[in-house]
Chain A
Amino acid sequence: MNTNLKISNVTKIYPGCVANDDVSLEFNSGKIYALLGENGAGKSTLVKILSGVVIPDEGKIYLNKNILKLNSPSDAKKNDIGMVFQHFNLFETLSVFENLIIDSDEQRENLKEKIDTIMKKYNFSVDLDVPVLNLSAGQKQKVEIIRCLIRSPKVLIMDEPTSVLTEQETSELFLSLKKFSEEGILIIYITHKLKEVMQLCDEVAVMRRGKLVSVSQINNENIESLANKMVGQDLKTIKKKKENTSSEQLIKITNLNFTSEDPFETNLVDINFSLNRGECLGIAGISGNGQSELFQVLSGEIISNKNSIEFNKNFIGDLNPQERREYLMAFSPEDRLEQAAIPQMAIFENVALNNFKSSNFFNNGLINESKIKEHSKKIISEFNVNTDNIDLKSQFLSGGNLQKLIIGRELITSPDLLICFNPTWGLDVGAINYIHETLIKINEQNKSIILISTDTDELLKLSDKISVIHRGKLSKIMNSEDVTSEKLGVLMGGGN
């Protein structure tokens, strides 16, 4: 049976922003549709409307010409619309089976049988009795998909499904999605990754600032044309010049181990690497493989053996972040609003948190406000932070501006080494470009970077050397020219 889903003149306004501005779209089963747009373009709002999580201010939705009332997620389920959210909607402490039975009306035995059939049919293998928190991201996603399939949906919506997957898992997912589509399920695929749209989809709708910009057949598009539609301007591609870097060693990590008390953290096993001045070392990996622990060990949030970290000929393994900063290290953690900045404090106060002995931010225990403000203004202008109000609370900065502020705060003291963790996570293309340019500039000034990132393209673009972290172990260090994203994918999945 054919399924026709129609969105007609949908508008959703949040205070201060129009998330969806008069959007109309039509989908038919048998095809895979891409909904493409940057962060904040309104695509997530649109699919939340389709799944009943958000109620639109205006507009109607039709399924097979019948008007749909979607006032809650259960309405969407009743109408056979299934949704796999970007941030998994699973209960971590419940077992896989408990997660599946919770919104099903079937008896245990029937449901078990049904799940078995689905797993066999699509070649999924997930242990039903383990708690979800023990699963990898790819497996969690399979649980979400099974949960949708149990209800034999007519429409399946996937919201940025590959952001946590390896290359291999991604191609498995694509195979499954194509199979679903052949079986008559209408698939709507939300993403900001252009490559995936070209690989998977038949039709593409592009959104920008809440508006629908274009709807077209994939055959008539290419990556550049889609990128320009998505951003609304021509993008310059930046490239790193590979120069001969110096051979002066800056940091050397020797037999660094970290054993966590918390069984849900990853232990680090025998980390060894060294980095020269002017180089960028990229560390790839699927999130949750020890990146956050590695960042904390390198930044001094977790203190280790004194001799395990040699920086500029000093042994600093037992120093805290503040002390390491005095040796000219700088850090940009993954979580901007929790670790890097304090959301309720003003921009200038956040700047003052990065306090050096030489910066004289404090006199006899009193805050030297004018000094800090002057310093903050300098950061804002040098690093293109789009605000002139340094009294603004940092939570009101956009992700991109906040990241520029943080990187600026770290770089203004011209450190020898910047360690950053997913610096462009969740940013729009413009901000990503700026951050990438800045990182390249640092290397050109003969300063070094350790870039821990889950974005393989970013790593290949910026790194001189690359290593992969898997279950707390680093692979051997490779020259980035010799590495392809496929090879990284294999290593990230634990292969050789």
Chain B
Amino acid sequence: MIVDINFVGLIIASIMASAVPLILASCGELITERSGVLNLGVEGMMIIGAISGFALMTVTGSLIIAVFGAMLAGVLISTIFAFLTQTLITNHVATGLALTIFGIGISAMIGKNFVGIPGKEFPVLFEGLKDTIPLLSPILFGHSIVFYFAFALPFITSYFLKKTKIGLIVRAVGDSPESASNQGVNVRLVRYACILYGGAMSGLAGAYLSMIYTPQWIENMTGGRGWIALALVVFSTWNPIKILIGAMIFGGLTIIQFHMQAIGVRIPVQFLTALPYIVTIIVLVVISRDSRKIRLSTPSSLGKSFYKDN
């Protein structure tokens, strides 16, 4: 059997494309969690981003307004979460779950008028180079700007956390908000900023789904990707590079199992559908099992409310 080498490249590119929303949302949530805040509202923020992006695109016709509008929508909904958990000191878990339920509900409501409307074509970069190098060309060229941003993000995130002062402060707040506060760090401000950033990235992930990946609005179109993104953060032990690996495995298995279903491999469909979830978690657990590293990268104050006594 002769396999067209460019076909392999295309499959890899499609795997990468399916990993994009996971990487974006995970890297955003990673920053939030590194500051000690557990936001389970990723799915909700993502779907709000998806409907906002799609609606703004349809109404204004501008892709730029739509993309930034989706991020702003993510920021706005995460502000609710930040206000509740940081100012009113509510429980992170319950508030995050409420945020997801709220997001799914309100997106379905807004989205009623947008069902069945075709999306717009999103411009891609380097299209002229598409046929230059075999195998690599379809992987490297001809994607949207969001795609390139997503694959740079884990490295930027890693650099930010390890090498910059603000990154250090974020880690310090996640490690011990009490100590940080006693050192004069404004814990609440840092956490607000991290939550809002997480919201923006989830919003962008959602916009990618509804504007670029499958350009249309379908109710509940995030289909649990927000939860996968959350799981990736935890199972990668808060390491952005491992998030990239996990997202690729998940994306890859999802695509491959589709193809296997299509060519009629005699494995139960349920098992194939479950495969990406199982394998991703197993792989991440195996590559992250160094308990010393887990201890060093786990934000000790994750999910705990911070009260300042005066």
Interface residues of A (CB under 8 A from B): 51, 53-55, 72-74, 77, 85, 88-94, 98, 101-103, 131, 133, 261-264
Contact = CB atoms under 8 A, between A and B. Distances in A.
A102 B183 contact: yes
A73 B183 contact: yes
Given A55-B310, A131-B296, A91 B182 contact: no
Nearest to A89: B179
14 contacts: A72-B184, A73-B183, A73-B184, A85-B182, A89-B178, A89-B179, A90-B176, A90-B179, A91-B180, A93-B171, A93-B175, A103-B184, A262-B291, A263-B292
A102 B291 contact: no
Nearest to A77: B184
A304 to B, nearest CB: 22
Contacts of A131: 296
Interface in B174-196: 175-176, 178-185
Given A74-B184, A93-B295, A101 B171 contact: no
Nearest to A105: B165
Contacts of B171: 91, 93-94, 98
* Chain B interface main SS type: helix
Interface in B159-175: 165, 168-169, 171-172, 175
Interface in B277-302: 291-292, 295-298, 300
Contacts, number: 64
B158 to A, nearest CB: 15
Interface size bucket, B side? 20 to 34
Q: Pick the 6 closest A-B CB pairs, nearest first.
A: A74-B184, A89-B179, A91-B175, A73-B184, A91-B172, A103-B183
B300 A92 contact: yes
B306 to A, nearest CB: 14
Contacts of B291: 261-263
A72 B183 CA distance: 9
Contacts of B180: 91
A53 B185 CA distance: 12
A66 B301 CA distance: 39
Given A73-B182, A93-B171, A102-B185, 5 more contacts: A73-B183, A89-B183, A90-B179, A94-B175, A101-B165
A74 B165 CA distance: 17
A465 B258 CA distance: 72
Contacts of B184: 72-74, 77, 103
> Most B CB atoms within 10 A — which of A54, A77, A263?
A263
Contact of B168 (A55, A88, A102, A133): A102
Nearest to B176: A91
A88 B171 CA distance: 17
A51 B182 CA distance: 9
B310 A94 contact: no
Nearest to B292: A263
A260 B183 CA distance: 34
Contacts of A98: 168, 171-172
B169 A102 contact: yes
Contacts of A261: 291
